[in-house]
Chains A and B, each alone.
Chain A
Amino acid sequence: MTIHDAPPAYRRAFRPADGRLLGGVAAGLAEHLGVPVVWVRAGFVVATWFHGAGVLAYLLLWWFLPVREKDLPPGLAAATRRGDRSAGTRGRPVREVVQTLALCAVGLGVLIILAHARGGVEPRYLAPILLAGAGVVVVWRQLDESSQDRTLWRDRGPAAILRTAVGLLLVVVAGVFLLNEGGLGSLLDVAAATLIALAGLGLVLGPWIARLSSDLASERRERVRTQERADVAAHLHDSVLQTLALLQKNASDPAAVATLARQQERELRSWLYGEQAEHGVSLAAGVRAAAAEVETAHHVRVDVITVGDAPADADVAALVRAAREAMVNAAKHAQVDRVDVYLEVTGKAAEVFVRDRGVGFDPEAVAADRMGLRGSIRGRMERHGGTADVRSAPGEGTEVRLCLPLHRSEEGDPS
């Protein structure tokens, strides 16, 4: 079920899909470079003082940086498409908006002073240029949103068209402004103006055309993906139908029904909501698999909560086996229908807690066979440098705590 392309070997910069002020360029760069976003914004403003390089750079980056596409598991993607969930779009905090406005105001002030001092760009050209810039921003932003979210076009068509029109109008007005200011006399001026207008048009429509072609490519990818998903869905249907048939057959056996239902639920859930890592073997995946086995074999519910994860090695495998042993013990002896398992991996150690609210026992006076099982848990853990504690009292349930120090170098990060 690999629908992901191999990740590129180098780190790419993206524009965030939500929470952006204009195009998300600054936010994306800040995340990529690991610096506060306000520095990046200040950088763009300062660069603008030098022949508008900042604005140009911003627009170019806006053009070239791809938006980070969310890769949702099928269940969530479907829910999003149907409108059963709202994507967690959040704007930037107000403080940041004000900060950026202030930054831009200061930048503009300096720009005007510089223009006066240098006598380069005359201040009267500044207004039309700004106007044109605003127009481009409005149109691009609209394009961004509509290419990201097709339903937006459908739902808010008029608003989208209006915004695009306003943006274009701003650019045209700016062009006319420039023409008048420049004086219509000479042919050269007209030619230059036409050129400017054409460049403006290209600037405004360029991204759209570029996006259209990239949209085509992603449509194609999407089609392949959809087919793959259809296959998986068909497979899933089969598994669910099988389970339903089994449920009907076993209707008189509540324990079997519960186990079957639970098993199917787990399978479906993990596929729909991407609960577990599909790739490779890890500690968390091992513990979940062990829990699933125990659930099926002993007709109890085993709820697994995991925080963090670690790659599998011999020690980790021993931890998983010990945890499995503890689950089996709880399922067999505690006389409960539910066992809680909690796995937490911190930087230094992995801990697993297996807990039941069952009959419990007196750890001081256990029968020989129980002793053996406990020995196999404890012995196994100790052989691999870990520890195992059992807390229990008659009538108070049992909790087994397994702890394994992790002594791996930095490279253990499974990202």
Chain B
Amino acid sequence: MSLRVAIVDDHAMFRTGVRAEVDHDVEVVAEAEDVDSAVEAIIRTLPDVVLLDVHMPGGGGLEVIRRVHPRHLEVKFLALSVSDAAEDVIGIIRAGARGYVTKNISGPELVDAIRRVASGDAVFSPRLAGFVLDAFAGTIEVAQVDEDLDRLTEREREVMRLIARGYAYKEVAKELFISVKTVETHVSSVLRKLQLSSRHELTRWANERRLI
């Protein structure tokens, strides 16, 4: 049974392009071009995975996740964007997206990412891994509670670094002599920390990152 996918993007040309690229492997059940129509279409069709643009009319991808996610946890979101603003990328992950890839991703890679997200794993592009390392870098504030969520383990850091270096999950597994499943577990755990960490530096970092 092929996966059911919704494409949410305000550029019709881009939607057509993505549809053409993934059409053989997944079933595109809905397309939408703004927040309201997206929320309506997603709730109506309940796709397995929503490919979600970060910026679009009505409040952006973040707003779509905010409205749909709490009610339909089974619908997974994969952010697909041209925006590389760390603040937005981290924001959409913290809202509940299971991954982030840039729009210049190739068709097969995108299908692979859709499958991964649908099966409950997380998809980290090199850029997202870089952002994560940046966000969790630096000194940990002692005053912050919940320390487990506020730091990456050595292994998770290792996995993030390899992904940032352009390694696919399979290559990461080979490099670290662990199974792909274990790599997936590490990545999911990083995703969880990213979503749940109360570390206020995380948001502050995103806000101030470009104020050099």
Contacts and interface: CB of A to CB of B under 8 A. Distances in A.
Contacts of A353: 165
A277 B126 contact: no
A101 interface: no
B143 interface: yes
B57 A305 contact: no
Interface string B171-211: 00000000000000000000000000010000100110011
B37 interface: no
Given A305-B130, A307-B130, A307-B164, A86 B60 contact: yes
Interface in B41-66: 54-63, 66
A305 B164 contact: yes
Contacts of A274: 85, 210
Given A76-B85, A85-B88, A307 B56 contact: no
B203 A344 contact: no
Interface stretch (A67-75, A133-141, A219-227, A239-247): A67-75
SS class, residues of chain A in contact with chain B: loop
A90 B85 contact: no
B95 to A, nearest CB: 9
Interface residues of B, number: 40
Interface string A59-83: 0000000000011010110010011
B165 A85 contact: no
A344 B161 contact: yes
A324 interface: no
Given A305-B129, A308-B137, A344-B133, A273 B84 contact: yes
Most chain B beta-carbon contacts within 10 A, residue among A76, A88, A277: A88
Nearest to B211: A71
A224 B58 CA distance: 29
Contact of B60 (A36, A84, A93, A399): A84
Contacts of B87: 76, 88
Interface in B129-164: 129-130, 133-134, 137, 143, 161, 164
B212 interface: yes
Contacts of B165: 305, 340, 342, 353, 355, 399
B17 interface: no
28 contacts: A73-B210, A83-B57, A84-B56, A84-B60, A85-B55, A86-B60, A86-B62, A86-B66, A88-B206, A93-B198, A273-B83, A277-B212, A279-B212, A303-B126, A305-B127, A305-B129, A305-B165, A306-B130, A307-B164, A308-B134, A340-B126, A342-B164, A342-B165, A344-B133, A346-B137, A355-B167, A399-B165, A414-B212
Closest 4 CB pairs of A and B: A340-B166, A85-B60, A305-B130, A84-B55
Given A84-B10, A305-B126, 16 more contacts: A70-B207, A76-B83, A83-B59, A84-B60, A85-B55, A85-B59, A86-B60, A88-B94, A90-B203, A273-B84, A305-B129, A307-B133, A307-B134, A342-B126, A342-B164, A344-B164
